[in-house]
Amino acid sequence: MARAVFLDYNGTLIRRKGKDIEEFYNRILQNSRMKDVDALTDWWLANRGILETGCTAEAFLSQEEICMSLLRKMEKDYGLRENQDDLRQLMMNHWMYAPIFSDVREFFEQCSLPVYIVTNINEQYVRVCLRRNDLHVNGVISGETAKAYKPDSRLFEKALAISECASEDAVFIGSSLQADISGAEAAGMRPVLLNRNRKPVECTCKVVYKLPEAIRFL
């Protein structure tokens, strides 16, 4: 029996869609040599992951700094000609105002355990989203809190320390095998993969297709 549940944020609670991220993508595509949304998304995620992996306590970059670093790299590599401060603000708006998935409220209504958000995104942006959607959690542990990003186990261990929950009593629910599941496993938590798109996956952990389905594993 779990004592607490830990949730990913981007891709688990909020959708990677919405007017802000769509404008972000459109402005880059219209003013650079990047060819299409799929190529842009792949490039952004891959290069963001590289920067996040290199972030440690001694050389930590905030998500805003990572965003600006990627935009400067895109200017150099793909000739991006856009107001980078405007683009950064669009990304920040996305973190705050992106729509939540339709099954999120049902999960919160059914879950009787303390709920914590564990995310690379800064806590201040997550809090705005939670207030807007009237969702209540016991804590938000961000990359800035731990000075480490997923899948670094230090972020998950920081969440355990803040929640005062032993790893064997913790269930982590996330939508990324690499960032969420591997990091949670490394910290000794029991992971549950949220596979909303039902793509074939190879993993040894529990898999659910809607967030409320995870209740039975708590």
151 upstream amide cis, omega within 30 of 0? yes
Confidence band of 93 (pLDDT split at 50, 70, 90): very high
Residue-level pLDDT at 57: 73
Give the structural domain span for 34: 19-95
Residue 117 sits in the same domain as residue 200: yes
Number of domains present in the structure of the chain: 2
Percentage of the residues of the chain whose pLDDT score is greater than 90 = 94
Residue entry with tokens 């920081």: 158
**How does 138-177 read in b/e, with b if 16+ C-beta sit within 10 Å?**
ebbbbbbbbbbbbbbbbbbbbbbebbebeeeebbbbbbbb
Residue-level pLDDT at 51: 95
**Mind listing the pLDDT tens digit for each residue in 170-205?**
999 999 998 999 999 999 999 999 999 998 888 899
**Mind listing the pLDDT tens digit for each residue in 41-57?**
999 999 999 999 988 77
**Chosen domain end from 62, 95, 128:** 95
Residue 104 sits in the same domain as residue 199: yes
Whole-prediction pTM value? Answer: 0.94
The candidate with the shortest Cα–Cα distance to 207, out of 217, 193, 218, is: 193
**Chosen domain end from 79, 95, 111:** 95
Residue 81 sits in the same domain as residue 126: no
Confidence band of 99 (pLDDT split at 50, 70, 90): very high
Examine the pLDDT at 39 and tell me if it is beyond 80: yes
Q: Answer for the pair 95, 121: CB distance below 8 angstroms, yes or no.
A: yes
- The whole-angstrom separation of Cα 125 and Cα 215 is 26
Q: Mean pLDDT throughout 79-103?
A: 98
